Amino acid sequence: MIWLIFALLTGAAVMAVLAPLAMRNGARNESAADVAFFEEQIAEIERERAEGRLDAPDADAAKTEAARRLLRAEAAPKARVVSSRKLALGAALAAIVVIPAVALTLYARLGHSDMPDMPLTARLDSAPDRNDLSGAVARIEQHLREHPEDGRGFEVIAPYLLRTGRGEDAVHAYSEALRLLGATAARHAALGEARVVVAQGVVTPQAKKDFEAALALDAAAPEAQYYLGVAAAQAGEKDKAIAIFSKMAADAPADAAYLKAVNAQLAILRGEASAPVVARGPSSEQGKAIAAMPADQRQEMIRGMVDRLASRLESKGDDVEGWLKLIRAYSVLAETEKAKKAVTEARKALASKQDDVARIEALAKELNIGG
């Protein structure tokens, strides 16, 4: 079938070239005016001779000269017609031979004639090529660097960044989408959830504000309710957490996707289960252990990790990822002055790397801290 289509396309291309060559020009030849002129001149000589205004020898001489010019005028276009026909024939042969030859040569080099057909169902069911997806994301990111006002672009790319482990970038993308496109419950909840993922399952104060903002816009937003329940449990407010999850369980439809997680949290809080369950919860065993700790122990462990990171950056300051984690950690711990100091030190340490400094500035702007 494909070869028939190719043959038809080639034929159409060839005919497009040959058609103008085959058409006859209905207009008079460019020498027609000269021929008519000489014929009129001979007729005029005959009239003057008949009227006696021109004697016979002069009339014959004039007619001879006019006839000679007429013959030259009639012969000239014949030579041009022969030449034109030769050119047309050459162009036609070139079109018939060259166009198919070039087309077949290019297809032989670039095409895949041996590739089997892929039914539509198989194409729809097949998983997307990861390389193609990564390339598309790279193009979107480049577009956003050139057009930072495109809120929809940030909203589209944010979930992919979060799924592929680029939590900080996802938080930035969600923040920009929220700022550019306007506040909705879904956008606030998505930003808060990204913050929780970055914090290894801990509902940070900033994430809590996002979820509260989501509930202010939609009191029934399940993501916001769930994470506020988790925040209460992590803060040791057991009764408050149970009340939140119990209300969610009572109000949820029977087929709600989040109902299983809500019931699991209730089981933990009531002592019926021992392992914590957090939607999109900590991805590492260490993160799960931290999330399961009482609030005071968890804060102490997190502070120790932050202090060790700060000490490492004092001797190895060219680690932009480390600086980003440190600044965000200080912000999570509500240590604003330390976060500002870390921003200032990061600028100095990364002064020779403009792209890294730009990431520090973006995070400082996101967290609303100076330096």
Rounded CA separation 329/112 (Å): 54
Kindly tell me if the per-residue pLDDT of 276 is higher than 50.
no
Rounded CA separation 196/213 (Å): 15
**pLDDT tens digits, 123-145:** 444 545 555 567 777 888 888 99
Cβ pair 332, 206 in contact under 8 A: yes
**pLDDT tens digits, 158-181:** 998 888 888 889 999 999 999 999
Question: Which pair of structure tokens corresponds to residue 300?
Answer: 């102490």
What pTM was computed for the model?
Answer: 0.46
Rounded CA separation 35/59 (Å): 19
Residue at token pair 């550019």: 180
Cβ pair 42, 66 in contact under 8 A: yes
pLDDT at 283: 41
Question: Which pair of structure tokens corresponds to residue 221?
Answer: 């937003």
Closest CA to 367 of 189, 152, 205, 230: 205
Q: What percent of the chain has pLDDT over 70?
A: 65
Residue at token pair 């970055």: 198
Rounded CA separation 247/336 (Å): 35
CB-facing half-sphere around the CA of 72: CA atoms within 13 A: 8
Kindly tell me if the per-residue pLDDT of 20 is higher than 80.
no
Instruction: Name the more confident of 298 and 109.
Output: 109
**Residue type for position 273:** A
Question: Which pair of structure tokens corresponds to residue 21?
Answer: 């060559």
Rounded CA separation 113/13 (Å): 21
Kindly tell me if the per-residue pLDDT of 117 is higher than 80.
no
C-alpha dihedral over 333, 312, 323, 302, to 10 degrees? -20
Query: Chain-centre distance of CA 171, in angstroms?
Result: 20
Kindly tell me if the per-residue pLDDT of 87 is higher than 80.
no
Burial class (CB in 10 A: 0-12, 13-18, 19+), 175: buried
Q: What is the mean pLDDT of residues 17-36?
A: 55
